[in-house]
């Protein structure tokens, strides 16, 4: 459902007494069924649109609902502009540009400065400071494939680094915890799968289209499940990594420990992912309790040290360079 089309329909209904479903469908190059869904969405948004059947019938905003271009308050327009502006920084497209232009047409001249100020009070920029620069380009490819129902082909690396060639039908783009994913039906697995954009390479949109199959919305809130799996461990951290620890641990679970350190009760699950988080804090973090987690941290640190020591010995003995002659 396109935001710019909904706004355009509202504007048309504000200007016209009545307009038919087929006329709207022809205007926006969609089916009458899509227009009926749009009208339902407008009704749910609080603007009562009535339908009159038969010749001369169509859609109209109810006479008892006095509405004009001032239907949106300053706060409404600021919120809409804020949302559309931030969305346009993440996903580019003509429809977002058009939607922004149409919303701005509702802004009274005497309120423009105040609305612009409020709309700019929150800015979202998810582009990385460094790292994988393919994400934005891949977002555009997936977005186009979603709109045109076209297959995507790509190479996908799992969390162990194993790479496989895939072909999949895209159904939904997702932004979760600062990472982009898309949900699609994978032909290789014959099932729906969630693909992380940063693990994708050689993404191509195929010319071949697909007939959309039934797609169920993903359940993305695992907070209750995580709460039953996590335990609190006691770590001592240096003040220099406090901001990083706060990404995982609420401030209420962090207590001062001298001038430069804190004691944090860190939510933890005993798997590689969580051990890697602790190791990423380097020598600015020490696991204090429980003893078996502390012991596992020591073992992993010793393994890392041994890796470097063995590599140094190989280089010193000349084992790091092998030359084969014809």
Give residue 70's pLDDT band: very low, low, confident or very high (50, 70, 90).
low
pLDDT at residue 218, rounded to an integer: 77
Which of these, 70, 78, 75, lies nearest to 120 by C-alpha position?
78
Contact status, residue 188 vs residue 172, Cβ threshold 8 Å: no
pLDDT, average across residues 237-253: 92
Contact status, residue 262 vs residue 247, Cβ threshold 8 Å: no
* Chain segment 92-145, per-residue pLDDT in tens: 666 666 666 667 666 766 777 777 777 777 766 666 666 556 777 888 899 899
Residue 206: CA atoms inside 13 Å, Cβ hemisphere, count?
Answer: 14
Residue 145 per-residue DSSP state: H
Mean pLDDT of the chain: 82
Angle 269-272-278 (CA atoms, 0-180°, nearest 5)?
Answer: 75
Whole-number Å distance between alpha carbons of 180 and 183? 10
Query: What's this model's pTM, rounded to 2 decimal places?
Result: 0.54
Whole-number Å distance between alpha carbons of 115 and 120? 9
Residue 157: CA atoms inside 13 Å, Cβ hemisphere, count?
Answer: 9
pLDDT at residue 95, rounded to an integer: 64
Task: Judge if 307 and 237 occupy the same domain.
Answer: yes
pLDDT at residue 321, rounded to an integer: 44
Task: Judge if 98 and 178 occupy the same domain.
Answer: no
pLDDT at residue 7, rounded to an integer: 76
In a domain, 18, yes or no: yes
Whole-number Å distance between alpha carbons of 144 and 247? 33
Give residue 29's pLDDT band: very low, low, confident or very high (50, 70, 90).
confident
Task: Judge if 113 and 144 occupy the same domain.
Answer: no
List the domain range (segments joined by +) for residue 230: 224-313
Task: Judge if 241 and 289 occupy the same domain.
Answer: yes
Which of these, 72, 130, 129, lies nearest to 104 by C-alpha position?
72
In a domain, 216, yes or no: no
In a domain, 323, yes or no: no
Angle 82-88-91 (CA atoms, 0-180°, nearest 5)?
Answer: 140
Angle between helices 21-28 and 3-15 (to 10 degrees): 130
Give residue 324's pLDDT band: very low, low, confident or very high (50, 70, 90).
very low
In a domain, 215, yes or no: no
In a domain, 325, yes or no: no
Q: What CATH number corresponds to the domain at position 204?
A: 2.30.30
Task: Judge if 255 and 195 occupy the same domain.
Answer: no
Whole-number Å distance between alpha carbons of 19 and 50? 11
pLDDT at residue 217, rounded to an integer: 77
Give residue 65's pLDDT band: very low, low, confident or very high (50, 70, 90).
low
pLDDT at residue 45, rounded to an integer: 75
In a domain, 105, yes or no: yes
pLDDT, average across residues 5-12: 78
Domain count, the chain: 4
Contact status, residue 32 vs residue 71, Cβ threshold 8 Å: no
Contact status, residue 146 vs residue 170, Cβ threshold 8 Å: yes
Higher pLDDT, 180 or 102: 180
Residue 150 pLDDT greater than 70, yes or no: yes
Whole-number Å distance between alpha carbons of 189 and 185? 8
Whole-number Å distance between alpha carbons of 72 and 82? 14
Percent of the chain's residues with pLDDT above 90: 37
Q: What CATH number corresponds to the domain at position 36?
A: 1.10.10.10
In a domain, 218, yes or no: no
Residue 309 pLDDT greater than 50, yes or no: yes
Domain boundary residue, one of 209, 238, 273: 209
Give residue 88's pLDDT band: very low, low, confident or very high (50, 70, 90).
low
Give residue 50's pLDDT band: very low, low, confident or very high (50, 70, 90).
confident
In a domain, 66, yes or no: no
């Amino acid at each position: 459902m396109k935001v710019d089309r909904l706004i355009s329909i509202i504007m048309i209904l504000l200007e016209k007494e009545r307009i038919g479903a087929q006329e709207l469908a022809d205007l926006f190059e969609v089916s009458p069924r899509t227009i009926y869904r749009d009208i339902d969405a407008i009704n749910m948004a609080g603007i009562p649109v009535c339908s009159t059947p038969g010749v001369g019938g169509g859609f109209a905003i109810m006479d008892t609902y006095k509405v004009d271009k001032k239907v949106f308050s300053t706060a409404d327009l600021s919120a809409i502009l804020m949302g559309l502006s931030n969305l346009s920084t993440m996903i580019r497209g003509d429809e977002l540009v058009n939607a922004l232009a149409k919303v701005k047409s509702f802004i009274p001249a005497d309120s423009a400065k105040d609305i612009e100020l409020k709309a700019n009070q929150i800015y979202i920029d998810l582009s990385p400071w460094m790292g994988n620069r393919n994400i934005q380009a891949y977002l555009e490819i997936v977005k186009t494939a979603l709109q045109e129902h076209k297959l995507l082909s790509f190479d996908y690396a799992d969390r162990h680094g194993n790479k496989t060639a895939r072909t999949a039908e895209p159904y939904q783009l997702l932004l979760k915890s600062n990472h982009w994913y898309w949900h699609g039906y994978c032909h290789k697995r014959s099932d729906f799968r969630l693909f992380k954009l940063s693990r994708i390479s050689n993404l191509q949109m195929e010319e071949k289209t697909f007939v959309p199959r039934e797609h169920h919305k993903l359940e993305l809130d695992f907070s209750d499940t995580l709460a039953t799996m996590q335990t609190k461990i006691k770590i001592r951290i240096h003040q220099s990594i406090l901001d990083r620890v706060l990404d995982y641990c609420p401030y209420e679970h962090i207590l001062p420990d001298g001038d430069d350190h804190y004691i944090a009760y860190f939510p933890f699950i005993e798997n590689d992912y969580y051990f890697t988080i602790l190791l990423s804090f380097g020598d600015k973090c020490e696991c204090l309790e429980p003893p078996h987690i502390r012991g596992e941290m020591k073992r992993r640190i010793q393994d890392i040290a041994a890796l470097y020591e063995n590599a140094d010995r190989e280089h010193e003995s000349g084992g790091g360079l092998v030359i084969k002659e014809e």
